[in-house]
Every structure is written in C-alpha cells, then in structure tokens.
C-alpha cells in the first residue's frame, strides 16, 4: 500500500487519483487533544490516508483517550475518464452508517447513522420542537431569515433490546460535518469510545482492537420516485436535496428515503438501478486504537 501525508485538500485530491492498494488492518494515530469536527483537513496533516480500492474513498483514523476521529475524502470522477465507480454515490440521500464492535468480529448491532439534511425554515422549527427543544419566537424569526438550512444529524443504531446506559461516566456526543469543495467532499466524524447513555459509543479503550464497518449510497425509493418524476438535473449534491415539507412537520427517514431530488434518467427502473452513480458502497476494516501517544 502506498501512503502519504494529508496536508491540504489539494494534496488529498492528488492522492485520490492514484491507484493505491486497500489495507484492511489500520492503526489509528494518537491525537494529543480534541479535534475540531468541521470537514476541513488541516488537522490531519500528519496522518497517513488509506485508499479503499472498492469504493475509491480515502480515509484516516485518529483517537485520543475519549474519542475516535475519522476523515473520509470522496472525489467526483472526471467525466473524461469514464470512471465506473462513483465514490460518493447517493451519500446525500442515504447518509453514512458507521458500525463498530470490539474485537475482531463484524457486527451491525451498534453504529451511528450520520446524515446531512436540508430543511425549510418552518420544517426545521417543527423538527426542533418535535425533538423536545423549546424554540422562542425570537429564535423562530431568526431561523425564518433563511429559506433553507443545512443540518447535520447523528442517529444511534442499536438493538431494540439494548439497555439505555453503558459504562458510568461522561462522553462527548457523536458528531459529523462535511464540506464540498469542487470535485472533493470531505467528511469528518467523531465517535465516543465510552458507551454511555444512548449507546452512541464504541465501548473500547485506547490500545484495543475494534472493527469498523462503513455503508452508504445505493438506490432508494425516493431516488426512483424523483427519477421517474423527472424532477432533477444530473447531480447528486446536497443542494439538490431541498426537501418539500408541505405540512411543515415531515422529517427525513433513517434510510434517507424522504425528500430531495436528483438526476432524471432515461429508461426503466432496471436501467436506473444499474447506473453506476447510484451503487451502494460498503467495507469493513480492523483498527487498533492508539494508546498514550504510541
């Protein structure tokens, strides 16, 4: 496997174009302090990105004593190359599911669904109130100054029978941010190591081995509806997912099947499902968490 440091997004772009070999056993690097989750790559300049050949995505891992940090870089293929793999696929519809388990056995029992959603002002207010937030009239007026809002969400995946609490102690909440810059999309994730309260953590400590599963993209019922209705252009960007909330109370489903429109394609549904821009991506890695700067 060929590796190099991430310094700036432009460097990441150059690396993403290389045919690097996949490496399924990853060593996380020690992070001396909390990282800023903002979708910007500067803090990752000393990391060594890994290239997943199947999905054409680059990623790197870091951890401190409290959190695992993940960066993933997606590059839109140059149309002139006739690339058959579209790394981002329908990420803006489906979100990114990251599964985690301790040890060496794969499991989808626990994980987090990270999504980037676009709301109208009234839909955002309704969603906030639905989640138990008290929104003052002044706050509502401020929200209504913009027609639409981008919101990053984190939804815990857990078995229905799972207990509500894990280890005693405090934990940072999961967090996700994404930035699109030209042909690049950079996503940063934070997942707590400690499994507390809502079970949004891995349940591992520095130095231990974990398994991580990544799953995103693919055809959804909403995409098919949008295609058949011919309501969109040829992109799959977040800006094309402007959800129509006629009642002002709808919310996006966990699977990303609510709202938004993307490329209208010719042909029947079978042709649509075979379009390589809408394929589902998934891969697993074995990762060793860093311990105390080692």
Cα 246 from Cα 52, distance rounded (Å): 41
Task: Kindly write down the DSSP assignment for every residue of 124-191, as one continuous string.
Answer: HHHHHHHTT----HHHHHHHTTSSEEEEEEEEEE--TT--S--SSS--PPPEEEEEEETTEEEEEEEE
Query: Which residues, other chains included, contact 208 with Cβ-Cβ below 8 Å and sequence gap of 6+?
Result: 102, 288, 289
Tokens (6 digits) for 97: 């599911």
188 close to 58: Cβ distance less than 8 angstroms: no
Q: By three-state DSSP, how is residue 10 classified?
A: helix
Q: What is the pTM of this model?
A: 0.77
From 177, 167, 174, select the one nearest 98 (Cα to Cα): 174
Q: By three-state DSSP, how is residue 101 classified?
A: strand
Q: Residue 80's pLDDT is what?
A: 79
Please, which contacts does 143-149 make with residues 24 or more away whose CB atoms are closer than 8 Å? 145/121, 146/121, 147/120, 147/121, 148/118, 148/119, 148/120, 148/121, 148/242, 149/118, 149/119, 149/120, 149/121, 149/124
190 close to 174: Cβ distance less than 8 angstroms: yes
Find the angle CA(131)-CA(193)-CA(44) to the nearest 5 degrees.
100
**What backbone torsions phi and psi does residue 5 show, to the nearest 5 degrees?**
-85, 150
Q: Residue 144's pLDDT is what?
A: 95
Q: Residue 85's pLDDT is what?
A: 86
Cα 190 from Cα 49, distance rounded (Å): 17
Q: Residue 84's pLDDT is what?
A: 78
Cα 116 from Cα 157, distance rounded (Å): 17
Full pLDDT tens readout for the chain, 294 residues: 444 444 444 444 433 433 333 446 899 999 998 999 999 888 998 898 999 999 999 999 999 999 999 999 999 888 777 777 899 999 999 999 999 999 889 999 999 999 999 899 999 999 999 988 999 999 999 999 999 999 999 999 988 876 655 454 567 899 999 999 889 999 999 999 988 655 689 999 999 999 999 999 998 887 888 777 765 433 334 333 433 322 222 232 233 333 333 333 334 555 555 677 889 999 999 999 999 865
Q: Residue 277's pLDDT is what?
A: 81
Cα 98 from Cα 114, distance rounded (Å): 8
Q: Residue 160's pLDDT is what?
A: 80
Q: Residue 83's pLDDT is what?
A: 75
């Amino acid at each position: 496997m060929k590796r190099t440091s991430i310094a700036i997004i432009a460097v990441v772009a150059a690396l993403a174009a290389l045919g690097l070999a996949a490496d399924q056993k990853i060593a996380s690097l020690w992070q001396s302090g909390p990282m800023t989750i903002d979708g910007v790559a500067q803090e990752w300049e000393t990391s060594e990105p890994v290239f997943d050949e199947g999905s054409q995505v680059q990623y790197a891992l870091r951890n401190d004593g409290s959190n695992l940090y993940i960066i993933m870089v997606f590059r839109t293929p140059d149309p002139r190359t006739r690339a058959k793999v579209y790394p981002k696929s329908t990420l803006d519809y489906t979100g990114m599911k990251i599964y985690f388990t301790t040890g060496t056995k794969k499991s989808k029992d626990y994980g987090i669904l990270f999504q980037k959603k676009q709301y109208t002002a009234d839909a955002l207010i309704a969603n906030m109130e639905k989640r138990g937030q008290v929104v003052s009239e002044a706050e509502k007026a401020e929200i209504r100054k913009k027609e639409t809002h981008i919101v990053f969400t984190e939804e815990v995946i857990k078995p229905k029978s799972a207990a509500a609490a894990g280890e005693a102690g405090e934990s940072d909440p999961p967090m996700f941010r994404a930035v699109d810059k030209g042909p690049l999309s950079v996503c940063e994730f934070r997942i707590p190591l400690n499994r507390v309260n809502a079970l949004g953590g891995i349940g591992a400590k520095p130095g231990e081995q974990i398994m991580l599963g990544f799953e995103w993209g693919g055809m959804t019922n909403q995409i098919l509806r949008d295609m058949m209705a011919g309501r969109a252009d040829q992109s799959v960007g977040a800006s094309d997912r402007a959800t129509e909330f006629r009642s002002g109370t709808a919310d996006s489903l966990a699977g990303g099947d609510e709202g938004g429109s993307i490329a209208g394609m010719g042909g029947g549904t079978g042709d649509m499902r075979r379009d390589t821009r809408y394929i589902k991506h998934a891969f697993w890695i074995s990762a060793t968490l860093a311990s105390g700067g080692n």
